Amino acid sequence: MYYYEIAVFGTYTYNTFTYSYEEKLAPGQRVLIEFRNQQKLGVIISETNKKDYEVKEIELVIDEKPLLNKNHIELAKKTSKKFLMPLSEVAKLLFPPTSSDRIKIKIIPKSTLSNINKPIFLNEYYKHFKTKREANKVLKEMVKNNIVELSVHIVKPKKENNKIIILKKDFIEILNERLSASAMKVVNYILEKDENVYEEELYEKKIISRSSTVLKTLVKKGIVDLIEESKINEEPFIVELTEAQKEVKEKLLKKGSSVDLLYGVTGSGKTEIFFEVMEEYLNKNKKIMIILPEISLTPQSVTRVKKRFPDKNIGVYHSNINSIKRIKTWYDAVNGNIDIIIGTRSAIWIPLKDIGMIIIDEEHDQSLYQFDQLSYDAVEVAYLRSEIEEVKLILSSATPTLREMKKAYEKEINLLELKERVFTEMPDIEIIDMKKAEKISWIFTKKVLEEINKILKNNEKVLIFSPTKGYANYLICTNCGNVLKCENCDVSYTYHRYENKLKCHYCGSEKKVPNACPVCGNPELQLRGYGTERVVNELLKYFPNQKIIRMDREIIKTHEDLERAFEEIKKEGSAIIVGTKMITKGLDIEDIKLVVILDSDRYLNFPEYTSQEHTASLLIQVAGRSGRKEKGKVIIQTFKSENNFFEFIKEHNYDQVVEYELNNRKKFNYPPHSDLLMIIFSNSKPEIALKEAEDFYKKLKKEKLEAEIMEPTEPLIPKLRGQYRYQIIIKGKINHEKIYEIIRKHNKKMYLYLNPHTTLL
C-alpha cells in the first residue's frame, strides 16, 4: 500500500488528508475519494507514510498521468501561505473551474426492489427530491443494501469544431437560392462582418443552435465553405519599432533581472514591444502567458495577437468563455498545444507547458485582484510563478502600482520607461477651480460647457468621466472644499445618513456632524455624490439633439454590451461619451479630442488610504484617452485645486505622485511599506459575527505578533446580503507562517484579504 496526502477540493480546509492506494501515484494526479461520506475530487500533494489511524482508500484515479508538476504543487502551497487561502481551494484553482463537471456519477439499479428502473445520472436523480441532503440519505441506504450501485463516468472534453465559414457566392446568387430564414440569418451575419466568421461564434451569438443543420445545408448547396483555421496562411502583421521602443526591447531581452516593469505612457506602443519580445521566446519554443484586465480582453485585442502570430496556436481563457471550451483550452495548454495563452486573472493558474514568459498588461488594474470568498492578487501569483518556474515576468502600465514603483526604485526589479507617445504629444491638462469658476449648475462650469460645444461643432468627440453613484458619501465645505478626516487614520470620514454621524471605518471612531466647517466656519456643508445618469440628463438640457452614449455597469452588463458600445463610439461624427471607470480601458478612439473629469474630489476623498494612488492612476488613464492621434485636451474640475496632487497630474508627472504618496504612506506605515491584512467575519446574527471576530482577535493578541492588530470594528458596509459583518485589520510586518498556523488551528470560516486595493467591502 502507498499513502498520499490529498488536498480535497471544495472542503475549504488548510489541511491535507491521507488516503491509501495499492499502486504508485504521483503528485498532481487527481483522484476521487470518499470524504465525510461524500464523493469528492482531490489532488495528490505528496506521498507519505503509513498512519497510526485508519485511512480510506482512493476510490478512483481520475488522471492517468499527473497534469501538474512539482512546480505547480509548490505554487499552490506558496500561494496558500501567502494569501492565507485554504490549500484545498488553491489546488482547485490550478484546474479548470468546472473540472468536477467532467465527473458524472451514474446510479445503476441492481435489484427490483429499487424504484429506479434504469441507470440514471446523479444530477437527474437529485431532481426527484426536495433537498440534496435527503436524496443522499436515501441513496446511501440503497447502496448499503445493495439495491443500487454507483459508477463513475469521466466526460472527455469534446473536440472543438471551430471552422471558419467562407461565402462562396455573392449576394445576388444567394438570393436566387431558396433559403430558410435561419440560413439567411447566417448569410447576413457573414456579409455584415468584415472579419472571419467562426462556427463557434454563430452558436455563441445564438444565430443558430448547436444542433442546427443550417451549416450543413449551406455547404451542400455550395454557398459556404468550412475551412480549418490553420489552413489560412497569412503574413504576420509587423509594425516597425521606433528607436525608443527598440531600446526597451533590447533591455527586455537582456539576461539578468527576471522581473521587468515597463512604465510607459498611454499610446507609447507597449504592445508592439511585447510582440517583438514574444517572438524571441516563441523561437526558442517557449510558451507565453498574457494576462489582461477583464475589460481589456476584447476580441479586438485577441485578433491583434492572432494577426501578429498567424501560425501560432493561441488560446483565450476568461470567465465569459463557456466551460467546455475552457476545459479544452486548459488541456491544450497543459499538453503543449498552445503557444500563447491570453486570459484574465484566473488564467494565471494555468499549468502552461514550457512556459517561458508571463506578461501582465495594465498591472495597476484592480481586476487583477480577486476580491471574493477566496482572494489573491494575480500579480503576486505571477511573481511566485516566475520564481518557482524561472519564468520571465513583465509587468506593464502607464501608472504602475506604488508597490511595483517602490520595488523599481529600490532596484528589486528592472525599470524600463517610455515617456513619449508614438504618434503625438501628450494632451494639455487644465484644472478648473470649482470654488472660483462660474458654474452653470453644480455639475458643470461655464468653461467646460463652452469647450464641449466647440468640440461638438467641429464634429469630434468628447469623453466625460464621472464617478458612479453609490456609497462613500462625504461632506464637503462649499466654501473651502475641506473634507473631514480622521486624525488617527488619515482617512476621510464617511457620512452615515441613518445615524447622521461621521464614521471612520478604519478605527471605528465616530463624530457628530459639525454645524459648520471646522476650517473656515462656513455653515454650508454639502453631501456629495452624483452619477452618470444625472450627468446625461444635465447634458441633454444644453445639447438636446446630441448623440450621448452612456457607459457604466448599469448599462453595460456583458462583453457584448461593451462591444456594441465601442462600435457605436467608433462611428464617425460628434458624440458625447459619459462613463465611469469603465471607460479608462480599451477605448482607442482617434477623434476623442476632449476629456472632461467631473467631481475628481469624490475619488480623492474616498475613505481609503489608497485613494490618492487610485485617483492619480484613474485621472492619468482617463486623460490618456484624449487625442491618441492628434494632440487633445483634458479638463479637470475640482474643489481642491490647491492640492499639489493636481500640479503633478497637470504635468503628467506620475513619478511625483508616487514619491509624494510613498512618503505619505510611510508616516502611517501603510503598504507598500508594510502589509495589511483584512479579516472579515460574517453571520446572519450580528452578535455571532462580533463574537467570532472577538475570539479570533484574542487568539491573535496572545500570539505576540509584530504587526499592529486593530480591534474588531464594523466595516463600511456592516450588513451585506443579509449577513452582518465585523472586521479585524492587521498592519505591519505580517508573519505568514505564524498566522497561517493560527488560522489552520482555529478552523473557523473567515474571509482574508492581503493588501486589498480597497477595504470598503
Enumerate binding residues for DNA (CB under 7 A): 11, 13, 15, 17-19, 34-37, 51, 53-56, 133, 136-137, 747, 749
Closer of 37 and 233 to DNA (Cβ): 37
For DNA, the closer CB: 6 or 549 = 6
Q: Which of 305, 125, 536, 51 is nearest to 316 (CA)?
A: 305
φ, ψ (nearest 5 deg) of residue 454: -60, -50
The CA distances from residue 546 to 540, 577, 710, in Å, are 7, 11, 52
The smaller minimum CB distance to DNA, of residues 34 and 225, is found at 34
Q: Least distance (Å) from DNA to the CB of residue 710?
A: 25
Closest approach, Cβ 14 to DNA, in A, equals: 9
Question: Whose Cβ is closer to DNA: residue 37's or residue 117's?
Answer: 37
| Least distance from DNA to the Cβ atom of residue 55, Å | 4
Cβ–Cβ < 8 Å for 456, 568? no
Joined grid coordinates for residue 354: 514550457
Kindly report the backbone phi and psi dihedral angles of residue 554, in degrees, each rounded to the nearest multiple of 5, phi listed first: -75, -35
Q: Which is nearer to DNA, 11 or 466 (CB)?
A: 11
- Biggest CA–CA distance in the chain, Å, is 88
Nearer to DNA, 7 or 657 (CB): 7
* Cβ nearer to DNA, comparing 300 with 747: 747
CA distance 439 to 677: 43
Question: Minimum distance between the CB of residue 100 and DNA, rounded to whole angstroms?
Answer: 16
Give whichever of 56 and 128 is closer to DNA, judged by the CB atom.
Answer: 56
Nearer to DNA, 570 or 749 (CB): 749
Distance CA 179, CA 223 (A): 10
Nearest approach, Cβ of residue 74 and DNA (Å): 21
Between CA 632 and CA 647 the distance in angstroms is: 19
Nearer to DNA, 40 or 385 (CB): 40
Least separation in angstroms between CB 16 and DNA: 7
Q: How far is the CB of 56 from DNA (least distance, A)?
A: 3
Minimum Å gap between C-beta 65 and DNA is 24
Q: Supply the minimum distance, in Å, between the C-beta of residue 703 and DNA.
A: 17
Cell of 291: 494576462
3-state secondary structure at position 513: coil
Alpha helix segments (H runs only) across 208-283? 214-220, 243-253, 270-283
The answer to whether 239 touches 271, Cβ cutoff 8 Å, is no
CB of 37 to DNA, least distance (A): 6
Q: How far is the CB of 456 from DNA (least distance, A)?
A: 54
DSSP string, 518-538: TTT--S-EEEE---HHHHHHH
Comparing CB distances to DNA, the nearer of 50 and 220 is: 50
How is residue 80 written as a grid cell?
A: 496558500
Instruction: Report the interhelical angle of 402-409 vs 654-667 (nearest 10°).
Output: 90
Rank residues 23 and 234 by Cβ distance to DNA and give the closer one.
Answer: 23
Task: Report the candidate in 57, 59, 76, 58 with the shortest Cα–Cα distance to residue 67.
Answer: 76
The secondary structure of the chain in percent helix, strand, coil, rounded to multiples of 5, reads 35, 25, 40
Angle at 59 between CA 54 and CA 62, to 5 degrees: 135
CA separation for the pair 492, 716 (Å, rounded): 12
CB of 80 to DNA, least distance (A): 16
* CA distance readout (Å), 426 to 265, 364, 621, 626: 9, 20, 12, 8
Nearest approach, Cβ of residue 122 and DNA (Å): 16
Q: Is the CB of residue 319 less than 8 Å from the CB of residue 334?
A: no
Positive or negative CA dihedral for 519, 524, 525, 530?
negative
Name which of 18 and 100 has its Cβ closer to DNA. 18
Q: How far apart are the first and last CA of the chain?
A: 49
Nearest to 334 by CA among 94, 161, 101, 61: 94
Helix axes 70-83, 736-746, angle to 10 degrees: 80
